[in-house]
Amino acid sequence: MAARSSARRRSRAAASRSDASGSIRLYTSVLATLVVAGVAEAVRVSPAVRVLVCNAMTEAGETDGYGVAEHLRALESHGLPPDALDYVVVSTSAIPERVRARYRAEGASPVDADFVPSGPRPRIVRADVLESGPVVRHDPERLGPVLKDLIAGRATALARAAGPGRM
């Protein structure tokens, strides 16, 4: 029990100090951490910019047929409702047919950008963020600037709201 309590305190402390939080893989990264007691709550109340970088491809046996909406429903069923996120980054990068065919043979397909927010959050950010090549993965050289802009935009908005010299 003490180990759980310690993990909860460390998670909350890390979330409260963070400038941004997010992850890429749904079940093996995000949901695995959200099941730890207190983590979903810590993310919900964190002042960090909360970003989900959505998978570009489904994962066979894990997210078969999932679009962005189903990814967000899975988060919600684990205690993190969509409006707890500030942004969802969705790739607009073209995936060559030969690459799609290889993934299709493995039971994977591109994630459908099928989510329409019902309120002001999360904002959907569509961007060209994938590496070119035989493997579909996010390119840090493309994704990094998108994330930096989202964080900088949040910091600018907070500074305006706080007034001169108050941030």
Beta bridge partners of 20: 49
Q: Specify the pLDDT at position 117.
A: 87
Q: How many CA atoms lie within 13 A of 80 on its CB side?
A: 29
Q: How large a percentage of the chain has pLDDT more than 90?
A: 62
User: What domains lie within the chain, and their CATH numbers?
Assistant: 20-36+47-162 (3.40.50.10680)
Q: Specify the pLDDT at position 46.
A: 92
Strands 87-91 and 49-53: parallel
CA–CA gap between residue 58 and residue 134 (Å, rounded): 16
* 121: three-class secondary structure by DSSP: coil
Residue 165 reports pLDDT greater than 50: no
> Which of 23, 24, 55 has the alpha carbon at shortest distance from 39?
23
pTM over 0.85: no
The pLDDT tens digits for 11-70 are 555 544 444 444 356 777 778 889 899 999 999 999 999 999 999 999 888 899 999 999
CB 90 within 8 A of CB 124: yes
**Residues in contact with 50: Cβ distance below 8 Å, sequence separation at least 6, in sequence order:** 20, 21, 22, 43, 84, 85, 86, 87, 122
Q: Specify the pLDDT at position 26.
A: 77
CB 28 within 8 A of CB 34: no
CA–CA gap between residue 110 and residue 93 (Å, rounded): 11
Alpha-carbon distances, residue 27 vs 58, 102, 134, 164 (angstroms): 11, 22, 23, 42
The pLDDT tens digits for 100-118 are 999 999 999 999 999 988 8
Beta bridge partners of 126: 90
